[in-house]
Amino acid sequence: MPELTTLASPLDVGGVRIRNRVFLAPMSGITDEPFRQRAHAHGAGLVVSEMVASGELAKGRAGCDLRIRHSGLPVHMVQLAGREAAHMAEGGRIAAGEGADIIDINMGCPAKKVTGGYAGSALMRDLDHALSLIEAVVGAVAVPVTLKMRLGWDESALNAPILARRAEEAGIKMVTVHGRTRCQFYQGKADWRAIARVRQAVSIPVVANGDVGSPQEAAAILEQSGADAVMIGRAHYGAPWIAGSVAAAAAGISAPGISETPRALADYVVAHYEDMLSLYGIESGLRQARKHLGWYLDRHAAGVSAEQRKRVLTSFEPAEVILGLRDALADIGMSNELRSAA
């Protein structure tokens, strides 16, 4: 079985070289350009765009351009979602035209607004249709195409190994498996051992995902799944450096982080906030940033007063938000987690 040190080595995905095997998961509304740039700077091997609806992208809907535009990182990976083959193919062509080095197909999102439109993990209920989408994207682009899925729709249909095998035959170059069914959403514990059945079904790289946030958990998921790489999602809330810290632990080096001082953390959070305002504009940026600011406060300033928290998360004045952030973080000692990652 792979060991933690395996994660420090490069990985080839359809001819694209990935610098290490600890990846930032695509998360809608979270892994935008500022977040991906930070995760990459901290050492994540691969970062993936937030999910883009292929139909909206094909129709030129506002906002899609921000999700697929190249951010200057060595590997630009865009994730597409949808259920119409024509839209998926066109979305793939548009993303590749914008410089995508890898295109990922989403068949894992459990959100009702996605599965209700028969996209995301709902596609695991109809593998023939799922394969038609894979074939459409693979046939439309010259770059590698990958696939992200769950174990299945529910416990009665754990068909991830079948989908993975058919996807490989259709030209998919890597599969990522979240160790839960769609009907579990994020409840319970991810079944890392079940991912091993996918690893046994294919010869392409398999990435294990679900409930990983530390080097110890990364080592455990590798041991139980036999996967080639790990993907980390929700552990990054308020901590864009998590994948990088795991990769550094695998390599036996210090993680690229931030200085172990409250002021440095405040500077870091403020810079992230300002980058979001620059990307989205003041009005939209204020709203988009609030969840991130809330996670930073939850993680690193849990003792902040309700009044201070409200000031940060409800103000419509960027200067007031920044002042509130600095006040909230200035006197809070760095958490043990941040110290270990810095």
Select from 103, 132, 104 the least CA-distant residue to 118: 132
The set of residues, in sequence order, having a beta carbon less than 8 Å from that of 154 and lying 6+ positions away, is 181, 182, 183
Q: Contact, 54 vs 81, CB < 8 A? A: yes
The set of residues, in sequence order, having a beta carbon less than 8 Å from that of 50 and lying 6+ positions away, is 26, 27, 28, 29, 30, 31, 32, 67, 79
| Tokens, residue 305 | 């007063």
What is the Cα 77 distance to its own chain's centre?
A: 11
Q: Which of 109, 151, 231, 248 is catalytic?
A: 109
| Distance (Å, whole) CA 51 – CA 79 | 5
Select from 102, 51, 93, 94 the least CA-distant residue to 73: 102
Active site residue 109: yes
Q: What is the largest CA-CA distance in the chain?
A: 57
Which strand (E) or helix (H) includes residue 267? helix 262-280
Burial class of residue 11, CB neighbours in 10 A (0-12, 13-18, 19+): buried
Tell me the residue type at 1.
Answer: M
Number of continuous H segments (helices) and E segments (strands) in the chain: 15, 11
- Overall residue count recorded for the chain in this entry: 342
| Distance (Å, whole) CA 55 – CA 92 | 11
| Distance (Å, whole) CA 74 – CA 64 | 21
Q: Write the CA distances from 62 to 52, 53, 66, 67, 141, integer angstroms.
A: 12, 12, 9, 10, 23
Select from 166, 168, 170, 179 the least CA-distant residue to 204: 168
Catalytic center residues: 109
